[in-house]
Each structure stands twice: as C-alpha cells, then as structure tokens.
Structure 1
Amino acid sequence: MKNRKLILNSIIKDEVSRIIQEKIEIKEFGLITVTRAVTAKNLDSCRVYVRSLIKQENLLNVLNKRIYHIQKELNPRLRLHKVPKIIFQLDENLEYVDNIEKILERI
C-alpha cells in the first residue's frame, strides 16, 4: 500500500503541475513550482506544496480561488474511484535549508 501511495503522490504532483502551467492563467507569480504532494492515509485529501520564485504572498489565495477548476481537470486524469481533495500549501523547506546553510557558513 505504501508503494501505491508514493506513486499516487508522484502522479498528483506531476498532473497538478501540468494543469497549473497549461490550463490556469496566473501570470503575476511567474513560474509556479509544485514541489511535492502528500496524500492522507485514507486518500480523502492531498496536500500539494507549491512555490513561486517571484512572490509568495497571495499565491495560496489565487490558487484556492481556482481550486474548483484544478480539481475538475485532475479528477478524470487520475482515473480513481475516490480522488483526493487538493489542499494547497506553501513549501517553506527551501527557506529552511537556506537558513541552515547560512548558519553553517558562519561556523
């Protein structure tokens, strides 16, 4: 079951990324990167982590306003009986890594 979930996470990440790039018009954020997807154990929901190189402030608001269209595009692509509900979150791991690297450089 763990392998299936890992594969599903990878597919959701790739498909949501394609949908955002091809179907959703969001120019003010430049390139939006889907960094990872984490599906809940019961497959009810999937947290999709996103980043933008230009600005982060309103990215979640803009994506959440378009969540219906993204989910509508995603559902037939997954071909699952029960498609997880997408929940967007900002990926702050890169900022965390940058802070650690700065600390290590000072040492």
Structure 2
Amino acid sequence: MPIFVPMETNRQKKIAGVLQKDVADVIQLALREAGVTGILVSVTKVNVTSDLSIAKVYLSVFPHDQGKRILEEVNAVKSRIKHLVAQKTKNQLRRMPEVSYYIDDSLEYIDNIDKALKGKENPVDNPDLLERRKKK
C-alpha cells in the first residue's frame, strides 16, 4: 500500500524561496555588524506548512562546532530577525509565518562519511561505524 506524501504547492515553494534569501541576508548582515569573523552561516532549506503559518529554517554553520552557539544566538534574537525579514517581504507576503530554526547537519554527516571512507575502517563494509542520523 503506497504512503501518501503531500506535495509542496508552488505557493509554498515561492514563499520558502523568498524566506530563504531574506533570512540569509538578515543573519549574515547581523554577523557582520557584530564583528563575527571566521564563521559562515547559510540557510540551506526552508519548509513552509500548507497553511503558510509556520516555516522551518535550516541553518548550516561552518565550522560545525559553532552550530549550537549560533543557533542559541539566532533564537535569542528571533523576534528581531522576524521583524527585519517581514520588512523585506512586506510586498510579497501578507502575513509573516512563525519561524523556527534548526541546524542542518547534512554537511557534517557527509564529511564524516568521507573521512570514514578514506580511513582504515570502511563504513560500506561495516555500517555500524557511522552514528545514526537524527530524524527531525
């Protein structure tokens, strides 16, 4: 029996794209103004619910060990980011969705696989060598 997976509508995709660009701009500007150097933050994906009221924003942070700290700082100024993004998107969105932020660990996961493949122990032969990826 096939599992029904709802498709993302064109409107959801459009809003996600607008939010992805504008949230990235706001966060990068805030990092520059704060004088933070050596940390790269990018918005890798945005998922918007079908009623357009909630958006999940996935952040990729380099270096990886700074991810938790950056996520805490972003969550601390969440309302300010929402306000700045709402100002940028006022001509495209009637209502700004509630935004929640998450760390996208896919690059770190890929890096671990790459290191393991180059190492002595091959995860292809022994899949237990890699830690399981967390479901979100």
What is the TM-score with the length of structure 1 in the denominator? 0.83
Measured after TM superposition, the shift of residue 96 of structure 1 is 2.9
Structure 1 residues not aligned, in runs of 5+: none
Identity of aligned residues (%): 23
Greater mean alpha carbon deviation, residues 52-61 or residues 85-94: 52-61
Q: Secondary structure at the match of 2:50?
A: coil
1:29·1:52 contact (CA, 8 Å) conserved in 2?
A: no
RMSD over aligned CA atoms reads 2.2
CA distance in 2, matches of 1:92, 1:26: 25
**2:23 matched residue in structure 1:** 16
Higher relative contact order (CA 8 A, sep 6+): 1
Q: d(CA) in 1 for partners of 2:39 and 2:67? A: 11
Distance in 2 separating the partners of 1:76 and 1:34: 19
In structure 2, C-alpha distance between the alignment counterparts of 1:59 and 1:8, rounded to whole Å: 24
Corresponding residue SS for 2:51: coil
Q: Which residue of 2 aligns with 1:6?
A: 13
What amino acid does structure 2 have at the position aligned with 1:9? A
Give 1:33's aligned amino acid: S
Aligned match of 1:43: 52
Structure 1 range deviating more: 50-59 or 65-74: 50-59
- Partners of 2:61 and 2:73 in 1: CA distance: 12
Higher alpha-carbon Rg: 2
